[in-house]
Amino acid sequence: MAADPRGRDPWARQDALARSTTAWGAASVVAGLGLAAARRGPFATAFGTQNAGWGAVDLVIVVVAGRLKRRRMARLPDPYADDALAAESRTLRRVLWANVVLDAGYVAGGAALWRWRRDRPGAAGASAGIVVQGAFLLLHDAHHAYWSGRR
């Protein structure tokens, strides 16, 4: 099958998701650990630790999602058959839009916690980390859901 010029191949979209999530996750771990180790106060330490933790989870998700993708592809007689591509596209879009809703919840919840905990620098820093990570995931998942298109 020729490459889809509109980027609607769900298998390729999942590879793109994995690449961008890996880059973000690795950057979050490195920057977060660096910030936490710098000992610039409880806000910065908690913010860094929160980002490092989310980055590590992102990396685990990439590994698990990659294995599940390979397993689904192996079970299909032809993973690039029109019906297989259509089914995988629908599933990917549903998962990504569900993630967008969850991501919005992370941003809203983190912002509320940040506001309520503003007098506790460590808790406020951890809450700010949730906002940053949730905002990235919100934009990331919405972008990929939108560009996944319909078959």
Q: What is the pLDDT of residues 64-73, one digit of tens each?
A: 999 999 999 9
pLDDT (mean) for 27-37: 98
DSSP string, 79-129: TTSHHHHHHHHHHHHHHHHHHHHHHHHHHHHHHHHHHHTTTSHHHHHHHHH
3-30 pLDDT, tens per residue?
Answer: 444 457 999 999 999 999 999 999 999 9
When divided into structural domains, the chain yields a total of 1
Backbone angles phi, psi at 5, to 5 degrees: -65, -20
Stretch 78-91: mean pLDDT, rounded?
95
Q: Within a domain: residue 24?
A: yes
Asked if residue 4 belongs to a domain, the reply is no
Mean pLDDT (whole number) for 132-140? 98
pLDDT at res. 5: 43
111 found inside a domain: yes
From 56, 6, 66, 67, select the one nearest 32 (Cα to Cα).
Answer: 56
**Containing structural domain, residue 22:** 10-148
Does 72 fall in a domain?
A: yes
Rounded CA separation 125/127 (Å):
5
Instruction: Note the pTM of the prediction, 2 decimals.
Output: 0.89
Report yes or no on 5 lying in a domain: no
Question: Do the domain assignments include residue 3?
Answer: no
